[in-house]
Amino acid sequence: MLSHKTIISTLVGVLLLLPMLAQASDIMPTVPKAKAEANPDTLCIRDVKDMRKNHMNYILHKRDLTMHEGIRTSQDSLAECIGCHVSKDSKGQYPSFGDDKHFCSSCHNFAAVKVDCFDCHNAKPTEASKTGSTIK
Amino acid sequence: MTQPVNNTTESTTDLYRRNFLGKTVAAAGIALAPGMLLTEVAHARPAGQAVTSKNRWGMLINTNKCGSGCTECVTACQTENGWGGADNSEQHSNASQQAVWIRKVKLKDKQTNHVQSLPLMCQHCETAPCVDVCPTGASFKRADGVVLVDKHICIGCRYCMMACPYKARSFIHEAIENQKVHAPRGKGTVESCTMCVHRIDKDGTPACVEACNAEGHQAMYFGDLNDSNSVISKELAKNGGQQLRPDLALNTGVRYQGL
């Protein structure tokens, strides 16, 4: 027969473990959905896995092309990424960079990778940026 | 004339030759196509093609037409590139620290009391001192003559500001918000007039020139200095255009008339 002590300690143990079990399921970041699906097969301008792994290289390459050679096409343009991927929150406002609801921050906060893109670039879509409709 | 002995062989050879010639001509056409584009009118640069030294963008400012109290060019630049003005995000910087991409300068001849007014901005020098002194290569001249700061590699040392004889550059002292998409600006970097490079790349005209013309002053011209048929080149060839500080031999892209 179980003593009161054993029952209480087991209950306490289970209660302590519950939040940990709950956390394990939603520990991964919630990445906001893009406004438009540029390509229904790959969802983005390239395969999602490729973009997750290599997006920094693509935008770094495009950055130099734009800055030094004046090539302002929509492919790999940061403004286009922002225009399509950053969506309004429940209050109808665009989240700031650093907010977990911001597309870039949702992962970067989780991975603790600091980026300085938005020290200079606008992290929110503006009228000038399109909604991904031109990307093929 | 003798008839061909073996028609079958002849026709096969002809077919082979025709195919070969056809493919060669097609290949030559492809090889020539990029070259052909280069010989076209200066303005039509395809979006995916890099700028070349075939163009040299420049401006001509007629100080006689420039209105003394008019600041339309300055306001247009502020609106276009998101510096200064009413919604200035440099709240903690004092007036001498805040960014100035273009400013109106008043010149007064003390002897004759003749007053002139002119807009002053980056002169987009051919041999730019700011480019010479930059330790990281952030300050650079694009192939088409536009002098820019690559803020990605600018370390904010401000050496270029010291070197510029026109006081055309500014340093950003504090965090900036709500930048224009085409004009990123941020703390710790140097910036100056870009000759509205984002507009040039889309066959446009700088905002200041557009505003001056809209106001009816027609004091500013923009165009290709390398194209002898452009309005700016014709005007410069006919009436000349002075450099500011010509003694420095910088071959500026911005020229002035009426000084």
Q: What's the pLDDT score for residue B66?
A: 95
- Average pLDDT of span B91-120: 94
Mean pLDDT of the region A13-38: 66
- Please compute, for residue A41, the number of CA atoms within 13 A of its CA located in the half-sphere on the CB side: 2
Q: What is the pLDDT of residue A134?
A: 38
Give the residue with greater pLDDT, B136 vs A27.
B136
Q: Which of B142, B181, B186 sits opposite A70 (nearest CB)?
A: B142
pLDDT band at residue B181 under the 50/70/90 scheme: very high
pLDDT of residue B36: 43
Question: Nearest by CB to A120, which of B48, B184, B201?
Answer: B184
Domain boundaries of chain A, sorted by first residue: 36-136
How many other C-beta atoms are found inside a 10 Å radius of the C-beta of residue B35? 8
Q: To 5 degrees, how large is the angle CA B195–CA A60–CA A124?
A: 70
Average pLDDT, chain B: 87
pLDDT of residue A16: 58
- Burial of B138 per CB tally in 10 Å (0-12, 13-18, 19+): buried
- Enter the tokens of residue A9: 């300690």
Q: How far is B48 from chain A (nearest CA, A)?
A: 5
Give strand ranges (E) for B100-216.
102-108, 115-121, 139-141, 147-149, 170-171, 190-191
More confident residue, A77 or B17: A77
Q: Taking CB atoms and an 8 Å cutoff, what residues of chain A touch B50?
A: 65, 69-71
Rounded to an integer, the average pLDDT of B171-185 is: 94
User: Residue B230 pLDDT more than 80?
Assistant: yes
Partner residue opposite B201 with nearest CB, options A63, A70, A79: A70
* pLDDT, tens digit (0-9, with 9 covering 90-100), for A46-94: 888 899 999 999 999 999 999 999 999 988 999 989 998 998 888 889 9
Predicted local confidence at residue B88, as pLDDT: 81
